[in-house]
Amino acid sequence: MTVMADRPQMLPDEFEAAARALAREVEGLRAEFIHGKMGVKPAPDGDHERIIQWLIRTCMQHRPELWLSTGQGLRIEPYRKGHARPDGTLAHSEAFVGAGEWADPEPVLMAVEITSYDTDTDRRDRVDKPRAYAATGIPVYLLIDRDSCEVKVHSLPDGTRYESVLTVPFGKGIDLPDPVGIPLETEPLKNWVR
């Protein structure tokens, strides 16, 4: 029997049902469906949550018309067959009203991921997510990498990948490019890593 490597594990509707069942059974795990494969994100730790708080406050100070949503699911990838739960999704404050559990990514200006201390974070946050978000057309992908103590700003999606990736160590400032247009002073991130 031949198995096709590029064949998805399940259909998007089957994933949504499985994700709902998992959420009922195991508190804190968040299911995702990227590049045809189901995966789970662990529950965030206290430092992870503090980074989100810092980022929400920073975004509100510079762009009060925007909101950094946490936990909003997005339909991603070509034909919206993938499903991701970014740690943060920056969009206009009314962007997801009435959207349901899995929203269209069109209003998203930036997706945010913060690495977790699990074995799957390398593939998920550093490889799969940038490809999926670029294929979806999300203008900016911000990765806060707690393992390397770096901030990576991906921009200029070309439908396959991000053409620009800027990397700075924690402690150095970086400007999030348009359409976000927010400066980040990353010094506080040094306080929230192991």
The chain-wide mean pLDDT, for the chain, equals 87
Q: Residue 146's closest CA among 27, 50, 62, 57?
A: 50
pTM: 0.84
Q: In the chain, what percentage of residues exceed pLDDT 70?
A: 85
pLDDT tens for residues 79-101? Answer: 777 889 999 999 999 999 999 88
pLDDT tens for residues 17-48? Answer: 766 766 667 666 676 677 777 677 777 788 99
Give the residue extent of every domain in the chain: 43-192
SS3 annotation, the chain: CCCCCCCCCCCHHHHHHHHHHHHHHCCCCEEEEECCEEEEECCCCHHHHHHHHHHHHHHHHHCCCEEEECCCEEEECHHHCEEECCCEEEEECCCCCCCCCEECCCCCCEEEEECCCCCCHHHHHHHHHHHHHHHHCCCEEEEEECCCCEEEEEEEECCCCEEEEEEEECCCEEEECCCCCEEEECHHHHHHCC
**Residues 6 or more apart in contact with residue 172 via CB below 8 angstroms:** 186
- Residue 1: is its pLDDT beyond 60? no
pLDDT score of 184: 97
pLDDT score of 4: 42
Query: How many residues are recorded in the chain?
Result: 194
Residue 71 or 41, more confident: 71
- The CATH code that applies to domain 43-192 is 3.90.1570.10
pLDDT band at residue 169 under the 50/70/90 scheme: very high
